[in-house]
Structure 1
Amino acid sequence: MEHPVQEWQNYAYNKWLHLPSDDKNKFSTASDLTESFMVCWAQIQQEEEDVLERLCCDLSVKKEPRAVLFYKQEGNKRFGRKQYTAAAALYSKAISHASPHTEEMAICFANRSAVLFHLAHYSVCIEDIEHAQEHGLPERLKSKVLQRQSECLERLKISDPSGGVFPKAEGVDPSKLHNTGKPEVLHLKSNTQLTNAACSLQLHTSSPKGRHLKAIEEIKQGEVLIQEDAFVSVLIPDRNTLSTKRNWDTGITNCELYCHHCLERVIASLPCPYCSFAKYCCQHCMDTAWRQYHCTECSLGEALLTVGVFCQTALRTVLVAGSNKVSELICRIRTSSVQDVTPSQQEVSASGAKYSSDYEAVVNLLPHVEHHKVEFRFLCGWTAAALCKKLCLNKLGEDVGALSLSEKHNMSEDERKCGCSSEPVVFGTAILRHMLQLHCNAQAVMVLQEEQEVPYSSVESQKSSRIATAVFPILSLLNHSCDANTNVSFQGRCATVRASRSIQKGEEVTHCYGPHKLRMSVRERQKLLKAQYFFTCQCDACTQEFASGDTSTDFCCPKCSSPLKGEDELHCPNAACEHRIRKDQLLLQLQHLEHTVSTTREKLQSNHIAESITMLKSCLSEAKEFLSPNHKILGEIYDQLAQAEASKGNWKAAGVHLRRSTRLVELQYGSSSLELGHELFKLAQILFNGFEVADALNTVVRAQQILSMSYGTEHQLVRELQEMKTCLLQLPGI
């Protein structure tokens, strides 16, 4: 989803291959990104506009009146089956397609209010009733809906005699009623160099490392180092569900579950009045998004889905920054020999200025022009030019659309000096720059989502899911390590960086970009980092692994169970065995096993418990024949067996399996890892339900320690653990 749809990529690559040699040479040797953008802009003709328009037709964000009835009927079906969460999501889809101030929209709000009442979301239910009335609720439904409103007020033990706005009487912020939680507000002691950072950090600059952060005092494990709101963030869409080539999709994606502005979880979204795609948790987020960027993006909906998340994030960055700031900084970059618009460490110290989480910091992130393949640079420039052309056409008649970028005789003297020709070329250059930056500086926003593995299971299973791409200028200062000393958690648009272990004074503060020593071999990590981030990692973990020369694998000898070693052909180091086998043969066997395990997960979700247990035990036997005893897939099998047994109420058997899974997770990810914390959370639930009081209490305490270090004490999981602990401590004999 980061990059354009494949057909556009193919079209751009073909265009590059057939580009006249003079233009190709001009693009390849361009001294700055404005020149590169101008080459691409000159190539965008009517044919290219038609291709983009055709691809846009395959994706739709328009309001479709027929979809209102479809999603309303599907919502009614789920409501009749008492599947209230699914019904709420489908009514929300119907609302997103309905036109404001119509009976259809009013009825959909009224229907959703009924669902919210059954889910005990009484505050939000009342809001939906108010929306239904605003959009023209039919008289025939008013008595039933107003009765529901009265019942909500009664349930909340609130009287509303004056007819005032209900949420104010409840004493909470009405703009956040839809959210499931807020980031814990942490008042960091002011850092003289950096905004949003603890005073224990200091900005440094060096030739090999660039800008980076070091500890100027000892930092304790769990200490908060950075808490930063994203400069921009974009929810990752599922293009398949928006395709016009499919029937309307009843599946629920992250775009239905999260606010498109603040990224908070939402149970009852408010739609954009003009498109069916953008949805918000409250009127405040909707108004803010419209003012900052959606007023421009709304009419580009299908085009933004076509050109991909990186291009949309780049455009949104420009829109949020504003044309004046973008023009000032892009022109300054072109006229500066240093190519640096953000204060250096020395400049910060001398002037008292701060490195801030603002557009200056964003625009100064390295685009790594010299490292990107020329074909990729052309794809980015070509896409930026096509988007700017469409933006110009959408604003036809305004100055931004009236100026041809090639008409330099119309430029002012100042514009000639910096080479910028009003908004289109500045915006295009900035979008191109940000697209190249995002390749190395985009931050995936990850959240924990409940995984409904087994219906009616008493054990919550959660998985980490990527919901958005964002830009965090301060967080981007952290260099990579394959064994980083921090971890990052997200609440909405806010990233919180905590120390994952003690950090000594003078030690660099690092962040793992993805490849971790406990998850990948050193060669896999090096290959990935070089391809995406253009550097050869020399962290302590990589240095030590290369020095050891260990070629051990995750496979074991099928004859004697010794760990196999080697690269393409693996060999058993046991002198009495010396068995050899090709690695690709074992990889194929592993792939087949992974597919079977995935199939059993689907059967668990469909409540085929007995069949799932039989299949999982067979998978376990097969895995033990050729995989290391610590292989992660064994942990997945044990985890699923625990879920299956728990669904039958066999808590003792479930506990045995989950203890084994927990041990493997600890070996793979470490004793203070988030992964272990989540596994211990599930184990605590099973032990709690099985009345293994002493073990449950010990597990709760350990899970609480790990998760609070990563998420803080106010996180939902930590609070649930505290509730379990309180309950256990009240039992006799404890």
Structure 2
Amino acid sequence: MCEKSDENRCNLTNILMQLRRHLSVNHNVAALSQRFGALNSNLERVNFVEELIKSAEITIELQKDVKNDEIATKYREKGNEMYKKRKLKEAWEFYTKSVCFAEENSPNLGLAYANRSAVLFELNLHKQCLKDIKRALNHNYPEHLKSKLFVREKNSKNTAIEETCPHEAIPIVTNNNPNIQSASACIAVREEENWGRFVVATRDIKVGEVLAVEKPLVTLVVNELSNHCHECVSLCYNLIPCKTCTQAMYCSESCRDYAFDMYHKYECSILATLRFLQFDKLKLFALKISLQYNDLGETSDLLYRSDRYREIHNLVTNTTKRSVPDLFERATAAALIYDLVKTHTNFFSAFNQNNFKEILLLHMQTGPSNFHEIVELVPNSRGIYEPEEIASGAFAFLSLLNHSCCPNVARFSYGSTLVLRAIQNIQEGEQCFDNYGYHFALMDKSERKKHLQSQYYFNCVCQACEKNWPLFDSLPSFNSHEIEDSVFLKLSSGDVETAVTVAGDLCTKLGELQKLQPCKDFCQLQEIVKQCFVVMGNKRKIF
């Protein structure tokens, strides 16, 4: 059995510690480490760790995850307390948990839907309120309470308005690239030994231009209790639960049914255990991909596609650059997941076990270097919008962009779709550079290089690093532009009209300022331009 930790938790970290203790007592650790490091395939690595886990007699106890009316009732009662105090966010959270835990055919599910509809009514989410009322009536809602629910239904119908999309219309690529499904013809993919695959401009590109619009092949919502669909990532305040587990919620029956048929029927029984073991999002993401894609398939199509697994499979893994402890930790996670899938699902009645091990460990390596955040602006207590990660996505094309500490492109989230725009003028033949989270104005050179080497295994040679550009506070300022305070305030408050109105002019000014960089003026204006496009993307009106 997995031993209890000091925190009384059995998790991946403690399992690794237990495994190392076993090896230090019973084996020559140095010799085993050397043997593991000499392995050439992901299958060999997972099999190697499997044998060690068996010899250490480490087993994982499945965490029971079943619907429970008693728990559902407690959550609903807590929701009632919050509702009486007018704490609508907290009430919504408890009612949603009650929906999640209520047994499928019990009145508790109807009661949870009905109570959540009251919060939605208060928040003027009348369309969603009506859906929850309908669900309550379809799930054994008590007869003696229906009259009150009918009144709410009538009031909602009288005041219901069309639901608004949480983002503006998704930009489109105006001149499609014949070789890249999601990209404009203004860019192309090249490959060189020192750079790997990378993206270059095929003509001069202006600030603000759309270079690519890409949908992810697979997504993973990062929070367990979320107001986003676990399948399509759409913002939704009246999610419905998986009929069997308490780990996944969906915006509609169609998303729920699709997810179950594609992959959730396999992960459903083990997700609670994986989260109990504190598996991070990248390991859960690797599982989700591996449950859906087990075959590269035959193709003669030379188009680089965003909707095909082959492109995701062939993303860089950095295997040869990873340390033995890094690969061992990932192989251990893969072995534990494999055992749970084998023991508690029927997945391998249809799919090859060895292929699953290979792909699972593969994507535990591709994920950290390639997958991207999907973000949403969320209002804080002062009404200022701040970005929050809502999901991760596997984007085949966007993963080809190299890093720069002074990037010339940036990604913006529209639903689960990412839009790539130029945030500098880019000359024909110049490489398009994204930023992996380490900007020269915010982090000094040594720190940036350390982080980039640690996660991405390269030594950055961008302009900012080569010329050792200073941090923002030490940059020169030319006072070359003035932005009214009201524009700052409106953009930080999520005002789309302001963003649309000023974006074009600010992009032109940014292009003119480019010759002065590095300077405060360019950095400040670039952030404002980025904020304009962020505001047009995902934005939550309420909690």
TM-score category, normalised to shorter length: 0.7 to 0.9
Equivalent pair of 2:181/2:304 in contact (CA under 8 Å): yes
Aligned to 1:280: 250
Structure 1 stretches lacking a partner, 5+ long: 158-169, 171-176, 239-254, 330-341, 343-350, 401-421, 454-459, 555-629, 632-663, 689-695, 720-734
Does structure 2 retain, via aligned residues, the 8 Å contact 1:215–1:507?
Answer: yes
CA, structure 1 residues 371+125, in 2 after alignment: closer, same or farther (shift >3 Å)? same
Larger mean Cα displacement after TM superposition, 437-446 or 121-130: 437-446
Cα shift at 1:376: 1.5
1:353 alignment partner in structure 2: 302
RMSD: 3.6
CA distance in 1 between partners of 2:539 and 2:244 (Å): 38
Of residues 110, 113, 136, the one that matches 2:114 is 110
Structural mapping, 1:252-291, within 5 Å: 255-291=225-261
The Cα offsets for residues 8-53 of structure 1, whole Å up to 9 and x where unpaired, read as: 3423444565555665443211122222222123333286552x32
C-alpha distance in 2 between matches for 1:711 and 1:237: 25
Q: Which residue in the other structure is 1:476 paired with?
A: 399
Q: Which amino acid aligns with 1:711?
A: F
Q: Which runs of 5+ in 2 are unaligned?
A: 1-10, 507-527
Matched residue SS, 1:44: helix
Question: Partners in 2 of 1:697 and 1:446 — Cα distance?
Answer: 21
In the TM superposition, what are the counterparts of 1:597-636 in structure 2 within 5 Å?
Answer: 630=473
Please state how far the C-alpha of 1:178 moved relative to its aligned partner. Answer: 9.3
Counterparts in 2 of 1:471 and 1:671: CA distance versus 1, 3 Å: farther
Whole-angstrom CA distance in 2 between matches of 1:677 and 1:270? 45
Highest CA radius of gyration, 1 or 2?
1
Q: Is the 8 A contact 2:266 2:346 kept in 1?
A: no
What is the aligned counterpart of 2:13 among 6, 27, 44?
A: 6
Task: State which of 533, 536, 542 in structure 2 corresponds to 1:711.
Answer: 533
- Equivalent runs, 1:299-698 vs 2, <5 Å: 299-305=269-275, 306=277, 307-321=279-293, 323=294, 325=295, 353-357=302-306, 358-395=308-345, 399=349, 423-453=352-382, 460-545=383-468, 630=473, 680-682=487-489
Q: For 2:420, what is the secondary structure of its paired residue?
A: strand
Residue equivalent to 2:7: none
- Which string of whole-angstrom CA distances, capped at 9 and with x for unpartnered residues, describes residues 473-517 of structure 1? 110000001101011111332111111121111110110011111
Instruction: Name the one with the larger helix percent.
Output: 1
Measured against aligned partners, the alpha-carbon deviations of 1:692-715 in whole angstroms (never above 9, x if no partner) come to xxxx99998479954588527854
Point out which structure has higher relative CO (alpha carbons under 8 A, 6+ apart).
2
Correspondent of 1:231 among 200, 217, 220: 217
Distance 1:718 1:258 in 2: 11
Could you tell me whether the CA contact under 8 Å between 2:166 and 2:538 is conserved in 1? Answer: no
SS, match of residue 328 in structure 2:
helix
- 1:198-251 CA-to-partner distances (Å, cap 9, x unmatched) read 11111101110011110101112111111111222222247xxxxxxxxxxxxx
| 1:165 corresponding residue in structure 2 | none
The question of whether the paired residues in 2 share the 8 Å contact of 1:304 and 1:311 is answered with no
Give the one of 7, 28, 39 matched to 1:30.
Answer: 39
Change beyond 3 A, Cα 1:717–1:398 = closer
Contact 1:184–1:712, Cα closer than 8 Å, also in 2? no
Partner of 1:222: 208
Tell whether the 8 Å contact from 1:71 to 1:93 is kept in structure 2 after alignment: yes
The TM-score normalised by the length of structure 1 is 0.62
**Counterparts of 2:409 and 2:234, CA distance in 1:** 24
Rate the CA distance shift 1:471–1:710 in 2: closer, same or farther, 3 A.
farther
- What amino acid does structure 1 have at the position aligned with 2:97? K
Q: Which residue matches 1:587?
A: none
Which whole-Å CA distance do the structure 1 matches of 2:237 and 2:165 have between them? 8
Rounded to whole Å, the distance in 2 between the matches of 1:712 and 1:433 is: 32
* 1:685 Cα deviation after fit: 8.1
**1:155-203 Cα distance to aligned partner (Å, 9 max, x none):** 238xxxxxxxxxxxx7xxxxxx696347615244221111111111111
Residue 426 (structure 1) shift: 0.9
- The one-letter code sitting in structure 2 at the alignment partner of 1:362 is I
Partner SS for 1:257? coil
CA distance in 2 between counterparts of 1:315 and 1:677 reads 49
Please, what TM-score do these two structures have when normalized by structure 2? 0.83
Letter in 1 for 2:176: S
Cα distance in 2 for partners of 1:366, 1:68 equals 45
Change (3 A) 1:62 1:451: farther
Instruction: Tell me which moved more, 83-92 or 535-544.
Output: 83-92
The partner residue of 2:139 within 132, 135, 142 is 135
Matched, 1:212 2:198: yes
The superposition leaves residues 423-482 of structure 1 with CA deviations (integer Å, 9 ceiling, x where unpaired) of 1111011111110122322323332211115xxxxxx21222223332211100000011
For residue 439 of structure 1, what is the amino acid of its counterpart?
Answer: P
- Larger mean CA deviation between 90-99 and 41-50 belongs to 41-50
